[in-house]
Amino acid sequence: MSGPSYPPWLLRHQAVVTDETSLRPPLKPERRRRLSVYDDGVNGQTQSPFFTKLPGELRSQIYEFAIRPTNPEAVLHVAHCYSMKPLKLVGTKHRRCRCTSAERNLVGFMHLCWGEIGRPLWKDNLLALPLTCRMATGATGYVGGDALHALHRAHPEYAISALIRDPAKTAAVFAKEYPDVRVVQGSLDDSDLIADEAAKADVVLNFAATSHLPSVKAIHEGLKKHRDASKPAYWLQISGATLLACGEIASKTFGEPPSPSSATYADLDSSAIWAQAKQYPSRTVDNYIREIAEEEGGSSGIQTALLVGPIIFGAGRGPGNRRSIQIPELARTAVRRGKAWQVGRGLAEWDHVHVRDLSDITVRLVERAVQGGGADQGVWGRDGVYFAGVGRVSFGDISRRIAAAAVALGAADSLDVEALPAEEADKLVAHAGVLLGTNARCDAGRAAEKLGWKPQHQSLEQAIEETVRDEAGKLGVAKANSEL
C-alpha cells in the first residue's frame, strides 16, 4: 500500500513531516475525534485530544474551518496542540518549519487541521490560516523601528512587509531578528510600489515621514483598491507635536512660555486638533488624513488613526536608528561645546513619552484593527487622533539637567545654560528653534480610555542622564566620577 500523497502546497514542508508516523503515539479510542471538512473540493481531517477540552460552540467553529491549498494566501505552520490557550485561541509556544518568510508568519487562532495526509497526528497539527499583511514604512527609523520590534515581539504570527530604502545596510539585523518580515526595497518616491504594497495590506503603518505627501497619496490609492466598508483597511499615520505649535512657528516666537491664549489640546476632543491642522495648510499630511477621516468617514473602507509624537526619549530597539533627536542633540552639542544651551529663555514646554510606551500604542491599535472593531467606538476616523505625552517639561529644565549631568562627567565646567537666539541654535541643531523652542502641550487620554494604554517606562530625568553619558562616550569624553 503506497504512502500518503502530499499535495504540492505541502511539499516544501516535508522537512518537518517526512515521517509523520514517528509523531503519532497510540491514542485511546475515547480520545479520538475526527471530522472531515470540505471546501473548494479539499478534504481535511481534524483530530486531537485537545478538542475534547474545548466548549462545544468553539469546537464547532474550529471544525468548520477548511484548508484552501489553492489560495496563495494560505500559510502552513506546525504548532503543538498543548501549547495553546483554549479560550483565547492564541499560541504561546510554537515550533516553526523551514519555509519562506511569508509562510512562517501565521501562528494565531487555533484552527487545527490536517489536510490530505491520510494519517492523523496527535502531537503536532498543521495550521493553515489566511495571510493578513501589515505594511510598515520607516522600519529602520527611530520610532518605526521600535514599533516594528514591539509588534513583531507581541505578534510573531503577523505577516509584515517593510519598505526599506537600502536593505543591504540592515540585512544582517533583519535576517537575525526579523526573519519573517518581508523586505520591500524602495523609497518614499516609489509611488507605484507603495500603492501596490498598500493594496495587499490590511493594515498600513506609515512612520517614514510626517510631510512626504506623495507617499501618503500612494498609500491612499493602494488602500482604496478592492475595499469597502464591509472589509476595511486600517492606516496608522505618524505625526509630530509641531502640529500644535504652528502659530508660534509662523510668528517666529521661540523660547517663550505658553501665552494665556495658547491652547492645551486634548485628544479626546479631536475636532479642535483637526481645526488646528485645517488652519495651517502647510501641514499637508495631517490635512490629507483629516480629509479622509472627515469626508470619507470610513465609507471607502479605510479607517485612519493619527499618532502625534511629543518629545520621545529612550533607546530604540529597531534594526536601524535607535536614537531620538531632541534630547540627544541637546546633549551632544552641550558636551561638544562644554556648555549646555537653550533656545531663547527656555520657557517653551512640550510633553514627553518613552519610545517603548509610544510603540505600545501602535501595537494596541494594530490589535484593534485585527479584531476588526473600533470604528464606532472612538478609535478610528474623525476620533482617531492620539497623543502620547505622560508628562510636561520646559526645554530650559531639560538643558539644566543636561548641564548637571555633563558637569558630573567632566564634560562641562559650569552648570550655567547659555541662551541662544533661534538663528544661532539652528546652526547647532537643524530646526532647533522649532523643535526646542516652541510650545506643544497636549493631554493624552484616548489611548488610555479606548485602548487600555498604561505607560510604564523610565522617567525623563533618568533618560537625560543616560543620554548625556552615551553622547559623551561617543565623543570620547571620559567619565569623571561614578555619580552617574
Clarify whether residues 227 and 120 are in a common domain.
Answer: no
User: Quick one: pLDDT at residue 297?
Assistant: 59
Q: Rank 60-64, 83-87, 467-471 by mean pLDDT and report only the highest.
A: 467-471
pLDDT for 376: 67
pLDDT at 266 over 60: yes
Pick the more confident residue, 346 or 177: 346
pLDDT at residue 464, rounded to an integer: 96
Q: What's residue 262's pLDDT?
A: 77
56 vs 390 pLDDT, higher one: 390
Do 55 and 138 belong together in one domain?
no
Whole-number pLDDT of residue 374 = 64
State the pLDDT confidence band at 172, using cuts at 50, 70 and 90.
confident
Residues 208 and 112 in one domain: no
333 vs 106 pLDDT, higher one: 333
Closest CA to 409 of 339, 333, 480: 480
| pLDDT greater than 80 at residue 403 | yes
Instruction: Give the position of cell 505627501.
Output: 213
- Residue 13, pLDDT above cutoff 50: no
How buried is residue 348: exposed, middle or buried, by Cβ count under 10 Å (0-12/13-18/19+)? buried
**Residues 6 or more apart from 270 whose CB is under 8 A from it?**
382, 383, 384, 385, 446
Domain match, 256 and 392 both:
yes
Q: Is the pLDDT assigned to residue 458 strictly greater than 50? A: yes
Of 367, 206, 358, the closest CA to residue 288 belongs to 206
Name the least confident of 63-67, 134-138, 156-160, 374-378. Answer: 63-67
Site of grid cell 494596541: 364
Partners of 309 in the beta sheet? 240
Give the integer Cα–Cα distance in Å for 402 and 180.
Answer: 40
**pLDDT given for residue 132 in this prediction:** 52
Average pLDDT over residues 438-463: 94
pLDDT above 70: percentage of residues in the chain:
69
Residue 37 sits in the same domain as residue 151: no
The last residue of one of the domains, among 103, 130, 157, is 130
* Residue 458 is assigned to a structural domain of this protein: yes
- Name the more confident of 392 and 17: 392
Euclidean distance between CA atoms 235 and 222, whole angstroms = 11
Q: Name the domain boundary from 130, 156, 191.
A: 130
In order, the DSSP letters of 319-372 are SS----SHHHHHHHHHHHHTSEEEETTS--EEEEEEHHHHHHHHHHHHHHHHHT
Domain containing 348 equals 133-474
Q: Is the pLDDT of residue 244 over 50?
A: yes
10 Å CB burial of residue 299 (0-12, 13-18, 19+) is: exposed
In the predicted structure, residue 421 carries a pLDDT above the cut 70: yes
Residue 439 within a domain: yes
User: Does the residue 455 lie in any domain?
Assistant: yes
The reply to whether 3 falls in a domain is no
List strands edge to edge, sheet with 35-39: 35-39, 42-46, 114-115
All cell numbers assigned to 293: 477621516
User: Are 113 and 170 within one domain?
Assistant: no
Q: Look at residue 21 in the predicted model and tell me its pLDDT.
A: 32
Q: Is the pLDDT assigned to residue 70 strictly greater than 60?
A: no
Q: How far apart are CA 417 and CA 340, in angstroms?
A: 5
What band does 371 get if pLDDT is binned at 50, 70 and 90?
Answer: confident
- Expressed in percent and rounded to 5, the helix, strand and coil fractions of the chain are 40, 20, 40
**pLDDT of 110 strictly over 60:** no
Q: For residue 480, is it within any domain?
A: no
Domain boundary among the residues 83, 103, 130 is at 130
270-279 and 284-291 are packed helices; what angle lies between their axes, rounded to 10 degrees? 130
Is the domain of 51 the same as that of 175?
no
Is there a domain that residue 479 lies in?
no
Residue 296 in this model has a pLDDT that exceeds 70:
no
- Residue closest to 88 by CA, chosen among 160, 159, 157: 157
Q: Within this chain, do residues 140 and 252 fall inside the same structural domain, yes or no?
A: yes
Q: What is the number of structural domains in the chain?
A: 2
Q: Tell me, what's the pLDDT at 169?
A: 78
Q: Domain for residue 106, yes or no?
A: yes
Say whether both 108 and 203 belong to one domain: no
Task: Tell me if 116 sits within 8 A of 327, measured CB to CB.
Answer: no
Interval 44-48 mean pLDDT: 32
pLDDT one-digit tens code per residue, 85-96: 332 333 333 333
Average pLDDT value for residue range 419-435:
98
The pLDDT assigned to 435 comes to 98
Residues 34, 56 share a domain: yes
Q: Are residues 103 and 180 located together in one domain of the fold?
A: no
In a domain, 1, yes or no: no
Give me the mean pLDDT over the 381-391 stretch: 96
Q: What is the pLDDT, as a whole number, of residue 263?
A: 84
Q: With a cut of 60, say whether residue 63 has pLDDT above it.
A: no
CATH code for the domain in which residue 214 is found? 3.40.50.720
Mean pLDDT of the chain: 76
Verify that 141 and 116 share a domain, yes or no.
Answer: no
What is the structure's pLDDT at 199?
93
